[in-house]
Chain A
Amino acid sequence: MTGHRLAWVMVAAALVAGCGDKPQQNGDQQVVLIGQASPLTGPQAHLGKDNENGARLALDEINAAGLTLGGKKVVLELKSEDDAADPKTATTVAQKLVDEGVAGVIGHLNSGATIPASKIYSDNNIPQISPSATAVAYTAAGYKTAFRVMTNDAQQGSVLGNYAVTKLGAKKIAIIDDRTAYGQGLADEVEKAVKAAGGDVVAREYTSDRSTDFMAILTSIKGKAPDLVFFGGMDPQAAPMIKQMKQLGMTAKFLGGDGVQTPTFIQLAGPDAEGALASNPGLPLDAMPGGSAFKAKFEAKYGQIQNYAPYAYDAMHVLIDAMKRAGSSAPAKYLAELPKTDYQGVTGRIRFDAKGDLAGGAVTLYQVKDGKWQTLETVQSGK
């Protein structure tokens, strides 16, 4: 009985809360606010601005084409906020967006900022689509409002493990991680995928994100004669690691994740980087279905694309697409439509799985050839 009463109270509370979100009336036009949050100051400001521009480009296009929801003309307005890539600021900014009455949010950029903010959006029933957060924990919390259009770390890890065994033909695989949330998480997923694909994990070694000496663990690994060494971690460790592999005369292939697939890795490892393999979630821009058209449109307006702009652009379209299908910008109504999304975007076909993750997210593999990262191929996860 009390359970029922509690449910009624919650519904009532949701309705009252919903009133605050009521779109503003502007003549016969309805103005709907859409939030965007990313670091607009600090060392990642260029990436944050890139996300904002991607979202704004989509929003301007939708406005120019004219948007009608439930028979009423609607004008979208972007509320962009700076989360400084900081988890604490992210929660403040999220609350601010909620208080301003946004109907949905595109963001945040970093996993560390997206995760704490996602609770606030969930508490206030505001749908959120992150263009770039990859940490598994973001959607693992089970919030109905959390979505992403970017391949997550688990998907990347499973593609990497499977690729190592089936495509690179490695039977015996050694795995090293740097004991950070990112490195360990990725390495665990790789280990699972290697075993699932019939590969043999002959060594599981550990280092730290401060180390530069890997001779001891590499020597131990060398004794087990693996075909491939996978490293879950970042470039400052990966570069000396591959150098020391060469010093020890190891012939095993070297594979890493997106922490390794950076220009810095090649710069630090020099000629020893040659032949190293690494992945990055998503597609390279020129391989995206709408990549070149998007590039032309975006660069005409904002200049060079930094990284995630196409994903922010698609995230905005996915959000508005759900509103169109629901015929309403009220979160309570269109949230039910978001899981049913099937949208052909610039970055590819976008559908969500039960958790709100991108279904079949793509992972692209790269190899260092002639001192540059060259694209090998793109693999869909979940296959």
Chain B
Amino acid sequence: MDIFLQQLINGLVLGSVYALVALGYTMVYGILELINFAHGEITMMGAMVALAVIGALALAAPGLPGVLVLGAGLVVAIPVCVALGLVIERVAYRPLRHAPRLAPLITAIGVSIILQNVAMLIWGKQYIPFPAVLPQGRHTFHGAAITDVQIAILLLATAIMLMLILVVQKTRLGRAMRATAQSRQVASLMGVDVNRVIAATFAIGSALAAVAGVMVSAYYGLAHYYMGFLLGLKAFSAAVLGGIGNLGGAMLGGLLLGLIESFGAGYIGDLTGGFLGSNYQDVFAFFVLIAVLVFRPSGLLGARGVERA
């Protein structure tokens, strides 16, 4: 029971990080039908910028409380990532908006490679330690352990997701986003500034990515120029699993993927009597993905054509 509970916590924490990143993929896809492969790298940039700020603060004003330092890192990382998202949209995607769908996909991959290499040039190839700025407290109940950092990740992720749903469902911007997702032409005929809505979508997605990047780095205690790649791939899979283009789907897909990975790696060896080991954990996760897509090609919550984003 304690192991089950622990794997549940592991899965939920991992899953909520995947969900946050998956939201960025799904929002952009919902509106533009574009897979923004640079999204994982924006996550990495968020972590790197926050790390630089935290490092500078540690030199300039040692002794500040950790939460404040991390907050300062976030306050700088979010606008930097938002600006980065806006620039990428303006330079790499907007000129290609009426080009064949393959073209922006390729620029997306190009942007992702450029961002990785820029980060490598600025911060180097080595793994960078992320200082333990958050309280390192541990709590145990029924034999399972949860740390302060994990609790913070769960709370922050939940709060951000609720806020995002409110924005999309209740605000004017949200209504414009939903309208643009349904039909760009009709929305623009109704007086919606489509370019502004798309830019806003990129801005919100990049801000989420920045938060996710900082959370991941703080949690694992390190940052690396390549960290966005695997995280982006997993989050993209989560978005597809839940139904790409659907906000609830990205959240569900992220949590599910986290839980599948966690329980898969934890129990696969015991369930198969050692025939399959934890080296099959990714196989297991992607097997579930394929199975879902075979029976529900548009993902778990994917709508068929209407009411995306």
Query: Chain A: residues with CB nearer than 8 A to chain B?
Result: 179, 203-207, 210-213, 215-217, 219-220, 222-223, 235-236, 239-240, 243, 247-249, 264, 267-271
Given contacts A204-B277, A207-B278, contact A220 B269 (CB under 8 A): yes
Given contacts A212-B220, A216-B262, A220-B265, contact A249 B140 (CB under 8 A): yes
Contact indicator B278/A206 (Cβ below 8 Å): yes
Query: Nearest CB to that of B11 among chain A residues?
Result: A216
Contact indicator A210/B230 (Cβ below 8 Å): yes
Flag whether B10 is at the interface (Cβ < 8 A).
yes
Query: Nearest CB to that of B234 among chain A residues?
Result: A213
Contact indicator B14/A270 (Cβ below 8 Å): no
Contact indicator A240/B221 (Cβ below 8 Å): yes
Query: Nearest CB to that of A220 among chain B residues?
Result: B266
CB proximity of A204 to chain B, nearest CB, Å: 7
Query: Chain B: residues with CB nearer than 8 A to chain A?
Result: 3, 6-7, 10-11, 13-14, 126-127, 129, 131-132, 138, 140, 145, 147, 150, 216, 220-222, 224, 226-227, 230, 261-267, 269-270, 277-279, 281
Given contacts A207-B278, A216-B261, A248-B145, contact A268 B222 (CB under 8 A): yes
CB proximity of B56 to chain A, nearest CB, Å: 18
- Report chain A residues within 8 Å CB of B3: 219-220, 222-223
Contact indicator B10/A205 (Cβ below 8 Å): no
Known: A215-B262, A269-B221. 14 other contacts (CB 8 A): A206-B278, A206-B279, A215-B10, A216-B265, A217-B278, A219-B7, A222-B6, A239-B127, A239-B222, A240-B222, A248-B6, A267-B129, A270-B129, A270-B132
Bound CA–CA A267/B150 (angstroms): 22
Contact indicator A217/B140 (Cβ below 8 Å): no
Contact indicator B129/A205 (Cβ below 8 Å): no
Bound CA–CA A235/B51 (angstroms): 20
- Report chain B residues within 8 Å CB of A236: 127, 222, 224
- Report chain A residues within 8 Å CB of B132: 270-271
CB proximity of A13 to chain B, nearest CB, Å: 47
- Report chain A residues within 8 Å CB of B216: 212
Query: Nearest CB to that of A268 among chain B residues?
Result: B129
Given contacts A216-B261, A219-B10, A240-B221, contact A205 B126 (CB under 8 A): no
Bound CA–CA A206/B278 (angstroms): 5
The 29 listed contacts between A and B (C-beta, < 8 Å) are A203-B269, A204-B277, A205-B265, A205-B277, A205-B278, A206-B277, A207-B278, A212-B227, A215-B13, A215-B14, A216-B7, A216-B264, A216-B265, A216-B266, A217-B278, A219-B6, A220-B3, A220-B267, A220-B270, A220-B278, A222-B3, A235-B127, A236-B224, A240-B220, A240-B222, A247-B145, A247-B147, A268-B221, A270-B221
Contact indicator B277/A247 (Cβ below 8 Å): no
Among A220, A243, A249, the one with the most B-chain Cβ atoms within 10 Å of its Cβ is: A220
Contact indicator B10/A268 (Cβ below 8 Å): no
CB proximity of A355 to chain B, nearest CB, Å: 30
Interchain residue pairs A-B with the least CB separation, the first 6? A206-B279, A216-B265, A215-B10, A220-B266, A212-B220, A216-B262
Bound CA–CA A266/B118 (angstroms): 27
- Report chain B residues within 8 Å CB of A271: 132
